[in-house]
Homo-oligomer: A and B are copies of this chain.
Amino acid sequence: MIMSIAVKIDGFISQSSLIRRMFEEGIELKKQFGPQNVFDFSLGNPDVPPPQIFQDELRRLVEEEMDGKHAYMPNAGYPATRQAIAGYLSGIHGNEILLDQLVMTCGAGGALNVIFKTLLDPGDEVVVPSPCFVEYAFYVDNAGGIVKYVASKDDFSLDLQAIEDGITQKTKAILINSPNNPTGKVYDAASIANLAGILVRKSRQFGRSIYLISDEPYSDIVYDGIQVPSIFKAYPNSIIASSYSKTLSLAGERIGYIAANPAIEDEKQLMAGLILCNRMLGFVNAPALMQRVVARLQGVKVDVAVYKRKRDLLCEGLANAGYDIVKPEGAFYLFPKTPIPDDVAFAETLKKYRVLTVPGSGFVGPGHIRIAYCVDDEKIINAMEGFEKAMKEFK
């Protein structure tokens, strides 16, 4: 008999077996030592609760009388929700965004799949600065495209020359993620402006529009007064994928959106494609009740000070323990260098001390580990001893 599942999927399962094994061993450790004695930094699951006003609005909407309350709505989403988000984004980006430029999606992951399906012809390339969220490669592959990783600089800022060199005749888009998972980097306004300049030049050179896609679910989780620069201001052929997973701690509810730059070329056909692909890929529409909730919560966010406190606690502790870190400007990840090149081996060492992290190789960033610090402060404090001991084994 031939294998039952697709060869490609079988391969992906094997590839992910290392991280899965670590995950399963983590569960074993928790059984053995008790969950409070295992320091699990492996999951990017927001632990700050949704704001109280979310709870109030949800309760209010559950009581509201309305025909077809949980029924299909237009595939792009409720007009009132898209209008509310368009209005909010207009204020952020300083240009007038209309509801016609919005499509509600099942989270940012859904948004990116819809965008790539709409844009990519088979063999089209998408340039992705690394380290990055590894699922991007799946999303691009789902649509028949090819990911071209371009390594960022040591401080995780964009290597603009390398990006320019990485763009070819086949490049259809560049995908950035700022604040970045796994590094916490926010690309500054100057690098976005310079990136835009490169894309204008290269689009002209190859006679083909290159799209700037920005995955921004962490845009509200930023520290020290930093702001995420607007890609809409910088470059017309730009598209934002975002969600309320982190802004409102709703990761499990799968509520996000696509916003296209009002100045994007061929706008009508692009939006028709996005709406069609939202349906074609089986998302159909973003969940109805959550669409109505987020419409009323534009500009609301979780208490970011909580994440900042955790970041500072972790950075100070690890710096003292001799870790080589770049202080995150946003998101809730720290991506320190490992004292040995083999990040998998170092993650295994940390696990001896019941500290669970993800090897940087899982984020196209070998020689690092990703620490998701969306955990109780006590976990950070109590994990320090393990972090120190693991470092001492190599330094």
Chain A interface (Cβ < 8 Å from any Cβ of B): 1-10, 12-13, 16, 43, 45-47, 49-50, 55, 58-59, 62-63, 68-73, 106-107, 109-114, 117-121, 124, 135, 138-139, 142-143, 207-209, 248-254, 265-266, 269-270, 272-273, 276-277, 279-290
Which B residues are CB-close (under 8 A) to A72?
Answer: 43, 45, 251-252
On whether the beta carbons of B113 and A281 are closer than 8 Å, the reply is: yes
Give Cα A69–Cα B58 distance, bound, in whole angstroms.
13
Given contacts A59-B62, A272-B13, contact A5 B282 (CB under 8 A): no
CB neighbours of A281 from chain B (8 A): 113, 138, 142, 281-282
User: Which among A106, A109, A113, A252 has the highest number of chain B CB atoms within 10 Å?
Assistant: A252
A392 to chain B, nearest CB (A): 34
A13 and B276 contacting across the interface, CB-CB below 8 Å: yes
Q: Which residues of B contact A9 (CB under 8 A)?
A: 117-118, 273, 276-277
CB distance from A180 to the nearest CB of B (A): 19
| Chain A to chain B contacts (Cβ below 8 Å), 16 pairs | A1-B207, A4-B209, A5-B273, A6-B124, A50-B70, A70-B250, A106-B282, A110-B282, A110-B283, A135-B280, A138-B280, A139-B282, A142-B280, A253-B288, A254-B284, A282-B283
Contact assessment for A118 and B282 in the assembled complex, using a CB-CB cutoff below 8 Å: no
Bound complex: CA of A2 vs CA of B283, how far in Å? 28
The answer on a CB contact under 8 Å between B208 and A2 is yes
Give A245's nearest chain B residue, CB to CB. B72
A249 touches which of B70, B109, B290 (Cβ 8 Å)? B70
> How many Å lie between the Cα of A277 and that of B9 in the bound state?
8
A254 contacts which of B4, B55, B287 (Cβ < 8 Å)?
Answer: B287
**Which residues of chain B come closer than 8 Å to A253, judged between CB atoms?**
70, 287-289
Residues of B contacting A50 in the complex (Cβ-Cβ under 8 angstroms)? 69-70
Name the distance in Å between A64's Cβ and chain B's nearest Cβ.
11
The reply to whether B16 and A276 contact each other, CB–CB distance below 8 Å, is yes
Nearest-neighbor residue (CB-CB) of A272 within chain B? B13
Pair B5/A285 contact, Cβ less than 8 Å: no
List chain B residues, Cβ under 8 A from A284. 106-107, 109, 254
Q: Are B280 and A6 in contact (CB under 8 A)?
A: no
Contact yes or no, A117 B6, CB < 8 A: yes
Shortest distance between the CB of A266 and any CB in chain B (Å): 4
- A sample of 14 more A-B contacts (CB under 8 A), given A5-B118, A106-B106, is A1-B209, A7-B121, A13-B273, A43-B72, A46-B71, A55-B62, A58-B62, A62-B62, A70-B248, A109-B279, A110-B283, A138-B280, A252-B288, A281-B281
Question: A297 → chain B, closest Cβ, in Å?
Answer: 13
